Structure 1
Amino acid sequence: MNHSFSSENRENMKNEMKTGVIDLLIIGGGIAGAGILLDAQVRGVSSVILEMNDFASGASGHSTKLCHGGFRHTKQFDMKRSAELAKERAIIHENAPHLTRPEPMLIPIYKEGPFDRWKTSIGLKMFDHLTDVKKRDRGEMLSKKQTLKIEPSLNGDRLKGSGLYIEYRMEDARLTLEIIKEAVKRGAKALNYMKVESFIYENGVAIGVIAVDLTSGEAIKLYAKKIVNATGAWLDRLREQDRSLNDTKLKLVKGLHLVFDSSVFSLKYGVYFKSKMDDKMICAVPYHNKIYVGMSETDIEDVSDVASYSESERDYLLENLGHFFPQLNLEKEDIISYWTGVRTFVQKSTKSKNDEYSNHEIIISDSKIISVMLGTLTAYRITASKVVDGICEQLKITNPSETESITLSGGHVGGSDLFSNYVKKMTKAGKELELSEQKINQLVERYGSNIGNIFAKMRTNKRHAKRWDLPSDLYAEIRYGIEEEMVMSPLDFFSRRTSYLYFEPHYVKENYKMVLHYFSDYFHWSPERLQIETNRMEEALASS
């Protein structure tokens, strides 16, 4: 069977890219690039995206996993931006209801604390009124008694009450993948592990790139009418390569998130609070039977500094948790995993006080390379629309953006209001396969309307799963990842496709060796390649 976005089809897709001149080449396989890919392809702009690592391996897979609706901007009374982000959040929720879910969040209000009850109440009312949020998502003020009833582990000393509002938790890496899958379904091409080494110029204008396939070492030339640099934290590296780096540069900030099991840290709602040491905001968010907390923020000079964290960064979060949740006595041994990501801000010679909250930045160099920086994941679609508007104008294409009404891959569940009904329906089918209700919910939230593909593979591949001594549902997910999501390695699967590495590291440790051998057999790896991938997995597990 031919699967267009399959690891098995990767070589064919690469060979097709070599012929002719494409309309648009996007460098960077995060959510910014993915959004541009889909928007452009739908409008009739033939589009290709290249990612030097795996898709969503940067900030798009290591965010705070909250689809912000713009509430924070009410503090600056920037209601236009709040309304814009609230609208975008609603669109994302409708187009991918399996990947976004309402998450009630508490803002504790303390005497002499940073939040004022009156101002918080006004902020919530302004946000609800001016951004036209759904009635079920409207905020409210709670008393001290109501707050502690919901979260009894919260520090009650000098607590006056709390503000309750709704954020949307999202599966950031999977959202990126579903956008790319939808674009590929419509004719776009996407390759991971393709590193752009240099640009090809003609009369000072970039007309193509030389890219190296990191899986084989093959170097290829690709020619395009338009080139977009959407590489996130790597943006300035390509701009420097293009000799277009000027006084508008990126500031890089590393963010650390810690994960705890609900047996040591349990929350009914998320909690959003200001650090007791400085002005930084921290959130603690429920995720199935885990809680994740983030983020500490540290300025860094280079993106290579993102991977690890220092004891001081970890202790910063633990100390804040000890202050706001003193009954729990959380220690470093309670941390089951972590992830680090990088936020990018534009540094200019002159900037306003709100520049750091910019939804996007678009820079066009003298060589006509379009560099795009995304300020918040929620704004990926409107940013893409603005970028593609400019590209279409130059290519004399008049088709408008359609992504507002495009249901993404996995989102065909009858709309956001009917998603719970879809989960119930799939629960019945999952129980027939002897899956627990918790596991079914996890799989449906991960794959949405594509869950039928997972269940079908479970039914037909029991013998193969047994041969490799793997749970049938895990084997089905791996097969789906290879056939439908261009999974090239176990780390791609355990990290970006499923998040097992961060939220179920013990499950990964139980199965990763057999998964490695399965990949080695399936892709015909050499002993050297198997050792490289084994080292990558073990380093990732040691880090988590």
Structure 2
Amino acid sequence: MVNHKPGSTVDQTGGRLGPAEREHAWRRLADETFDVVVIGGGIVGAGAALDAATRGLRVALVEARDLASGTSSRSSKLFHGGLRYLEQLEFGLVREALRERELMLTRLAPHLVKPVSFLYPLTHRGWERPYTAAGLFLYDSMGGARSVPGQKHLTRAGALRLAPALKRDALIGGIRYYDAQADDARHTMTVARTAAHYGAVIRTSTQVVGFTREADRVSGVRVRDVENGAEAAVRAHAVINCTGVWTDEMQRASGSRGRFRVRASKGVHIVVPRDRIVAESGLILRTEKSVLFVIPWRNHWIVGTTDTDWNLDLAHPAATKQDIDYILDHVNKVLATPLTHGDIEGVYAGLRPLLAGESEESSKLSREHAVARVAPGLVAIAGGKYTTYRVMAADAVDAAAVDLPGRLQPSITDQVPLLGADGYHALVNQADLLAARHGLHPYRVRHLLDRYGSLVHEVLALADDNPDLLKPVDAAPDYLRVEIVYATSHEAALHLEDVLARRTRISIEYPHRGEDCAHQVATLMATSLNWPEATITAEIDNYLSRVAAERASQNKPDDQAADATRSTAPEVRPHLTDPVA
């Protein structure tokens, strides 16, 4: 057994990641020797840090930018069982994904992961209904209907009652089934905070700029604080590379030969207002390449995704006019009232880190993950899908066991609820009382509970001495001002972009994309981060430049033109260099 060491006990700050904790984390990185250093603050890295910490290991996680700043904030926002993988006969992957979805819905993150229904329109008479029903029966029997309703068959009239927005001639009937969804960025950040709660050192804006070695083994990493340029060496028995689409670059930086290659596949989504598509359920539509989802998202719909190779800037993949037109063209084939470019509130592009295979079509590449000990002291993991992050994390830590002193305890993260899960259901029942106590509308409290769970008390306490913080953000009324302050005091947000794009989703949920509330949000952040007026101005200018570059790139015809336009926006972290983690 690995000894339980100082620093690996439960964190008394409850997983808080604020400015004081950030300073303390830097000292610990420089002074301590860790069992495991995780590179990358996406869902797999955060999951690996939590997995290792709850096994009693001494853990540090470093992320060059922000938690979930890459792929893990730009997904379809689904914890899905992988229904379409049944057609590819990947039964093990479906069974694994369904088990993970069930754990999230019931035990680990019921405050963050929610059931969501989808209508699958049938378009062919005779064979399609029994074929699809057989697949869904197998799906349900593998766990797809364990805590959500099973499949329900609908006539054309029944399907149109569920989704009046559909053209009458776009379907002959339908089947409704259930999956699950989550705010991916918030979920990832909560996994990282839970790891901190169990003793892990979590530090963002901390880039790996090199590896240290003792003889033939990797013995740690050199890191740079990309906010101020300070550098330090971090000692570790094992380093786990969880950098997703940057896996190959990080392996090259380590001087180790990679065991697998990672290909980046770009997925683009658009966000439109809820009233533009009249339906009580999401939709899943077949395309010539894959599937297209229409996903309910609060007062919006998320529509996507595309699936194309991307070989340009990995940090800021750009959506093109062609990408957006592709989505509109396909969804409009079934909508009675077509969507237009003018309906779009937000657009986002993310990169899937797919294991490179023999097929040249990225949609056919395996969603399985791979783990390899690429050198003594260095493990890499890539591939997989968001839903199965917990399994991936456990496999990565298992692979590091050979480099750790003593016997490694088994993974227990299937029994570790994320912060905010404990007590959530009771608080939902008490929402009216909680609302009355704080002078809020009950719907507002329910919204907070679905973002913070039982941490809602911690959030609302910040307004005890300043009731104005319980007012909505002026140009983004779905969010309270106190949430902005909490993002900087507890959730590791360091820049305006972190709050507008990830701690909230203002950047994709409002047509102004955060421009109209940038000044107010930056001013609220300044109280926690001690920003002078010049920093407030710089943060606003940087954010507005980002929005302008993204808008302009979305009018470009191809990837090269869109990438060149998007790259004109300045990097908010001044000492960040390539390659990044």
Corresponding position of 1:412: 422
- Residue-by-residue CA offset, 1:362-418 (whole Å, 9 max, x unaligned): 12213542111141111111111122223235422231111101111011135xxxx
> Aligned residue for 1:310?
320
**Deviation sequence 1:461-501 (CA, Å, 0-9, x none):** 226789x9998973321222222211112221222112122
**Residue 82 in structure 1 maps to residue 87 in structure 2:** no
Q: Is the 8 A contact 2:319 2:348 kept in 1?
A: no
Aligned to 1:202: 214
Contact 1:29/1:51 (<8 A) preserved: yes
Matched, 1:299 2:312: no
Q: Does 1:97 align with 2:97?
A: no
**Aligned-residue offset at 1:356:** 2.5
Pairing of 1:425-464 with structure 2 (within 5 A): 425-462=430-467
Secondary structure, aligned partner of 2:398:
helix
Q: Does 1:287 align with 2:300?
A: no
Distance 1:81 1:90 in 2: 14
1:152 aligned counterpart, secondary structure: coil
Deviation at 1:103, TM superposition (A): 0.4
Residue 501 of structure 1 pairs with residue 507 of structure 2: yes
Output one character per residue of 1:215-263: Cα deviation in whole Å (capped at 9) or x when no partner.
1111111111100110111111111222335573111111111011123
**TM-score normalised to the size of structure 1?**
0.91
Within the alignment, does 1:118 sit opposite 2:130 as a pair? yes
SS in 1 for 2:417: coil
Conserved? CA contact 1:461–1:476, under 8 Å: no
Corresponding residue for residue 519 of structure 1: 525
* Residues 1:320 and 2:333 aligned together: no
Q: Which moved more, 1:240-249 or 1:340-349?
A: 240-249
Pick which of 263-272 and 95-104 moved more. Answer: 263-272
Counterpart of 2:43, as a letter, is I
Inter-CA distance 13–167: structure 2 relative to 1 (3 Å threshold):
same
Partner of 1:267: 279
Measure, in 2, the Cα distance between the counterparts of 1:92 and 1:226.
29
Aligned match for 1:51, one of 56, 63, 67: 63
Report how far residue 306 of structure 1 moved: 4.3
- Segment drifting more, 5-14 vs 58-67: 5-14
Q: Which residue of 1 aligns with 2:83?
A: 71
* Contact 2:64/2:207 (<8 A) preserved: yes
Q: Is residue 227 of structure 2 the alignment partner of residue 222 of structure 1?
A: no
Q: Compared with structure 1, are the counterparts of its residues 510 and 446 closer, same or farther at alpha carbon in structure 2 (3 Å cutoff)?
A: same
Are the structure 2 counterparts of residues 53 and 480 from structure 1 closer, same or farther at C-alpha, using a change threshold of 3 Å? same
Query: CA separation of 1:446/1:272 partners in 2, compared to 1, >3 Å: closer, same or farther?
Result: same
Residue 484 of structure 2 is matched in structure 1 by 478
Q: 1:413 to 1:193 in 2, by over 3 A?
A: same
Question: By how many angstroms is 1:440 displaced?
Answer: 2.8
2:371 to 338, 359, 362: 362
User: What's the secondary structure of 1:92's corresponding residue?
Assistant: helix
Q: What is residue 16 of structure 1 aligned with on the other side?
A: 28
Name which of structure 1's ranges 391-400 and 156-165 shifts more when overlaid on structure 2.
Answer: 391-400
How many matched pairs? 534
Where does residue 557 of structure 2 map in the other structure?
A: none
Tell me, what secondary structure is at the counterpart of 2:115?
strand
Give the C-alpha shift of residue 288 in structure 1.
1.4
TM-score, normalised via structure 2 length: 0.85
Q: Gaps spanning 5+ residues in structure 1: where?
A: none
| Distance in 1 of aligned mates of 2:125 and 2:546 | 42
AA aligned opposite 1:450: L
How much has 1:130 moved relative to structure 2? 2.9
Kindly provide the CA deviation profile for residues 323-371 of structure 1, in whole angstroms up to 9, marking residues without a partner as x: 111x222110110111111112111469999982333111221354211
**CA RMSD for the aligned pairs?**
2.8
Change (3 A) 1:225 1:350: farther
CA deviation map 1:32-67 (0-9, x unaligned): 001110110111110000000000001111100010
| CA–CA separation in structure 2 for the residues paired with 1:390 and 1:126 | 33
Aligned AA (2:427): Y
Letter of the structure 1 residue corresponding to residue 247 of structure 2? L
Give the whole-Å Cα distance in 2 for the aligned partners of 1:507 and 1:348.
37
Task: Find the residue that maps to 1:254 and give its secondary structure.
Answer: strand
Moved more, 247-256 or 378-387: 247-256
Q: Would the aligned equivalents of 2:38 and 2:242 in 1 still touch at CA under 8 Å? A: yes
CA distance in 1, matches of 2:474, 2:161: 45
Contact 1:43 1:399 (C-alpha < 8 Å) held by counterparts: yes
The structure-2 alpha-carbon separation of the partners of 1:505 and 1:9, relative to structure 1 and needing over 3 Å to count, comes to farther
Of all paired residues, the percent bearing the same amino acid is 25
Partner of 2:346: 337
Residues 283-325 of structure 1 show CA distances to partners (whole Å, capped at 9, x for unaligned) of: 0011111111011222111343743211111111111121111
* TM-aligned CA distance change 1:135 to 1:36, over 3 Å: closer
136-145 vs 80-89, greater mean Cα deviation: 136-145
> Counterparts of 1:349 and 1:473 in 2: how far apart (Å)?
46
Paired with 2:268 and 2:529, the residues of 1 have a C-alpha distance of 34
* Residue number in structure 2 paired with 1:26: 38
Deviations 1:421-456 (CA, angstroms, capped at 9, x unpaired): 632422432255343444333221111111122222
How far residue 107 of structure 1 moved from its aligned partner, in angstroms, is 1.1
Deviation string 1:54-90 (CA, Å, 9 cap, x unpaired) is: 0000111110001011322221333332211111111
Cα contact 2:463–2:469 (8 A) shared by 1: no
SS at match of 2:307: strand
Matched, 1:212 2:217: no
